[in-house]
Each structure stands twice: as structure tokens, then as C-alpha cells.
Amino acid sequence: MAAGIMLCCTAFHASAVVNAEKTRVVFNSGSIAESLSLVNSEKEPVVVQVWTDNGDPTVSPDKVHTPIVINPPVFKMKPAEIRNIRLLLVSAGSLPQDRESVFWLNIYQIPPNTETQLKNEKRVVLPLKIRMKVFVRPEKVGELKESDIQKLQFSIRHDAGSDKILIQNPTPWHMTISSLKSGQTELSGVMVEPFGRQLMEIPKDQTTTNEIMYEVINDNGTRWSNKKMYADGQG
């Protein structure tokens, strides 16, 4: 009973303290440095650690290696402070030259007081981590344009006992599809690698039509919409 009372009196506070000005960072052809503005809330100071990884969020910063260096990697922010960080591309020569590469930026924020007392309510303030994509485009790969999302190809595959939508990406860009709908079928978002393919299973209680509508997230973090016809039974 005592343990139950303690749980009832404890509130876990996990609202974001530091936020970024955009949802992704893009190194376009020839760029070796990009900046990102962070803004702290007006309520309290915070300690921030920033690093990049290869897609595995469980790897600690001291054990991950990417061609991107962050400056500064650790810093304090005062209430309402705006801070610019620099992302430096230091070894792009090892990356593929015919397609875009992707890394992940981690913004780890630790409020100064992990435990506070307010009106007899115990609050535990949890450290928070924001993750966003970092795209690196070699010299031969230009900027992503709205017309490029029309190059995505969709078809239906009939595998043993289940139907799937096959998405093929013939472009050198990562295509981040935020929504996909065909008939009664609505599927969650997915990122398809350059020159890659992705299979999305169709729930058995849903049906599709011969038209598919989808949205792709662009460099600005907004969405481009498009619709296409696709052939049943291909793939």
C-alpha cells in the first residue's frame, strides 16, 4: 500500500527544455559546415550534450564514430538563451559518392534539478534526448526537388497469406515517407534508402485501390504530396 501511495504522489515531468529551429540538417554538395540554432526555455538553465551516430541510439557517444564533428559538444544554456552549434564534415571522402548518406544528431539535455518539490507533489525531471536526421550529399547529388518524389514506384506483392506494398526508390536520396494511403489502407511512415526498396504489409481486414497517395518530408521539414497509380501483382 505504501508503495502505491508513493507512485500516486510522484509525477514524471518530461517536457522538452531545449528545442531546435529545424527538424533536419542537410550538407548539400560542397558544404563542409552547417549550423543549427537551439533555444532554451525561459524557466531554467540546462546542460546539453550533442553528438552524431550511425543510426543506433543505444551506442554511447564515446564509442560511436561518424565523419561529423560537433562544436561545442557540451555546453550550458541559460534560461531563454539561443545557442548556435556547428556541424563540421571532416572526412566525407569515405562516404559513397553516388548517393546521399544519413546520420543522426542527438541533442541530450539535462535540467539542473532532477528532483523538485511542489505543493507536496514529488516531481522527477527526466533527461531528454532529441534525435534528428543529418543528410550528407556528395558533389554529384544535388538538392532534393518536389519532382523527385514522383520517381518513387509502388506495386502490390502477393506473398504466402499476405499482401504487401512494395516501395522502390530509384533516386540517390533517402525518401522519408510520412504517410501512405490506398483505399482503406493507411500505413505508418517509412524511410526508403537510395536505390533501395521497402515492403509494407497490408492488414488483412483492409483493401487497396489502384491509386496510392503519399507524402514525403522535404529539406525544410514540410511535406510534399503526390499520388500515383500502381499495378497489382507486380514485384
pLDDT of residue 127: 65
pTM for the predicted model, two decimal places: 0.84
Give me the chain's average pLDDT, please.
86
* Selection from 135, 119, 116 nearest residue 31 by Cα: 135
User: Mean pLDDT, to the nearest integer, of 73-97?
Assistant: 94
* Selection from 94, 74, 99, 93 nearest residue 85 by Cα: 74
In our burial notation (b when 16+ CB lie closer than 10 A, e otherwise), range 85-124 reads bebebeebeeeeeebbbbbbbbbbbbbeeeeeeeeeeebe
Domain 146-229: what homologous superfamily? Immunoglobulins (2.60.40.10)
pLDDT of residue 123: 54
User: Mean pLDDT, to the nearest integer, of 105-117?
Assistant: 74
User: Mean pLDDT, to the nearest integer, of 96-110?
Assistant: 95
**Hey, is 4 helix, strand or coil?**
helix
pLDDT of residue 122: 53
pLDDT of residue 235: 41
Does residue 34 carry a pLDDT above 80?
yes
Does residue 144 carry a pLDDT above 50?
yes
Give the model confidence (pLDDT) of 47-84 as tens digits: 999 999 999 999 999 999 999 999 999 999 999 999 99
Distance (Å, whole) CA 40 – CA 42: 7
Tell me the fold of 17-136: Immunoglobulin-like (2.60.40)
Q: What is the DSSP string of 108-136?
A: EEE-S-SEEEETTEEEEE--EEEEEEEEE
The domain spans of the chain are 17-136, 146-229
Does residue 39 carry a pLDDT above 70?
yes
Topology alike, domains 17-136 and 146-229:
yes
Residues whose CB falls within 8 Å of the CB of residue 155, separated by 6 or more in sequence, listed in order: 165, 166, 168, 230, 231, 232, 233, 234, 235
User: Mean pLDDT, to the nearest integer, of 116-121?
Assistant: 52
Top pLDDT among 205 and 148 is at: 148
Q: What is the DSSP string of 133-191?
A: EEEE--TT-----GGGGGG-EEEEEEETTEEEEEEE--SSS-EEEEEEEETTEEE--EE
Distance (Å, whole) CA 90 – CA 25: 16
Does residue 136 carry a pLDDT above 50?
yes
Predicted confidence band at 120 (pLDDT cuts at 50, 70, 90)? low
Top pLDDT among 13 and 141 is at: 141
Predicted confidence band at 94 (pLDDT cuts at 50, 70, 90)? confident
